[in-house]
Structure 1
Amino acid sequence: MKYQIKHTWDSLPVNHDPVKIGFSSGEGGLRMEVSAPFFNDPPAPPGPPGQPFPGLWDYEVVESFFLNSSNEKYLEVEVCPHGQHLLLLLSGKHNAFQQALPLTFSATIKENKWTGEALLPWRYFPPGVDKMNSYAIHGSGDSRIYEALYPVPRADLVEGQGPDFHRLEYFQPFSLQSIMGDGWVQPESDLWQGHR
């Protein structure tokens, strides 16, 4: 399952090669592969590669969100070309109850491109994922660029509105079964037990 981020958060076309994200079956989880232009702006986060980094969204990142639209439970995955990552479990919009979960993630920068691969354990996914969205961010200060796979339609924009990646109403249908096979059943997760 492959996606390309071709628009900014407010539905304008991006002015570079699109960020590509692929999802496939992995050992004990969902494999997420990223291939993206490398902007090197802002500079690398001051944390070790392979480790969670709080506030990673302030750097150059690619993000994917996996949502159960009936109860607004969702997994947020952020990965960075320098090897840091950040995972959040959210119950309701913007309401993270767990973050900085461990992740097997590696990234490689080659000239002006970067690639990354992560394995998202099934226990991180809320039960009943049926929608998703993905994003990419780069740039500093007034030149910060926010891109979305499923952006806010131009007709829905209001004056003074800024990017908000937690606009769950714009997420689109997504099925883990379409990747794993129709007979696949999502494993139970201890992390979501108290958050039904």
Structure 2
Amino acid sequence: MEFKIEHTWNGLPVDHEPVRIHLKPWDEGLLMEVNALFFNDPPAPPGEPGKPFNRLWDYEVVEAFFLNDKTEQYLEVELCPHGQHLLLLLSGQRKICQQELALTFEVERNESRWEGRAYLPWNYFPPCVNKFNAYAIHGSEAKRTYEALYPLPHCEVQEGQQPDFHRLEYFEPFHLEDFMG
């Protein structure tokens, strides 16, 4: 299954080639593949590539959220083109239960693009995942850009409103069991 992030968080079209996310089953879980432009802005986080890095959302990152909308339990997956990652398991909006889960994450990058492959074990997902959203973040300060697969409708954005990726009501239907075989 392929997803393209073609809008900013507030429903405007992105001004570059969209981030692509592919989800595929693998033996022990779900393979998440990212194909995106490499902005290298902000610079790499100071953490070791291949390891979890807290507050990764402050850097260039692609994120995927897998939600059970009945229990509001969800898995947040953050992948960085510099090789760091962050997995959070939440129970309730923004309520972290587990963080910095281990992950096999591989990155290939050149000066203009990056591709990542993350192997997400089935036991990381909450039961009965039925909603999904994905995001991309890059840029620094005034050029910071927040993109969303399923954005807030532009007509609903209030003056001065900031991006919030934990607006669970904007997630769309998704059935994890379709990948489980």
**Distance in 1 of aligned mates of 2:44 and 2:80:** 9
Residue aligning to 1:52: 52
Q: How many pairs are equivalent? A: 181
Contact 1:6 1:148 in 2 (8 A): yes
TM-score (norm 1): 0.91
- Equivalence for 1:31: 31
CA RMSD of aligned residues (A): 0.7
| Structure 2 SS opposite 1:123 | helix
Output one character per residue of 1:3-60: Cα deviation in whole Å (capped at 9) or x when no partner: 0000000000000000000000112110000000000000001011100000000000
Conserved 8 A contact 2:9-2:147: yes
Q: Which runs of 5+ in 2 are unaligned?
A: none
Which is greater in Rg? 1
Unaligned ranges ≥5, structure 1: 182-196
Seq. identity, %: 63
Q: Partners in 1 of 2:66 and 2:21 — Cα distance?
A: 14
Matched letter for residue 35 of structure 2: S
Asked if the contact 1:82/1:108 (under 8 Å) is kept, the reply is: no
Alpha-carbon distance between aligned partners in 1 of 2:140 and 2:27, rounded to the nearest angstrom: 37
**Matched residue, 1:73:** 73
Q: Which runs of 4+ in 1 moved over 4 A?
A: none
Tell me if structure 1 keeps the 8 A contact 2:133–2:150.
Answer: yes
Instruction: Using the TM superposition, give the Cα deviation of residue 80 of structure 1 relative to its aligned residue in structure 2, in angstroms.
Output: 0.3
Using the alignment, how far apart are the partners of 1:41 and 1:155 within structure 2? 29
| 1:103 to 2:72 alignment | no
- Using the alignment, how far apart are the partners of 1:180 and 1:149 within structure 2? 23
- For 1:77-92, list aligned pairs within 5 A: 77-92=77-92
| Superimposed CA distance per residue, residues 102-161 of structure 1 (whole angstroms, 9 cap, x where no aligned partner) | 000011112200000000011110001000000000000111000000000012111211
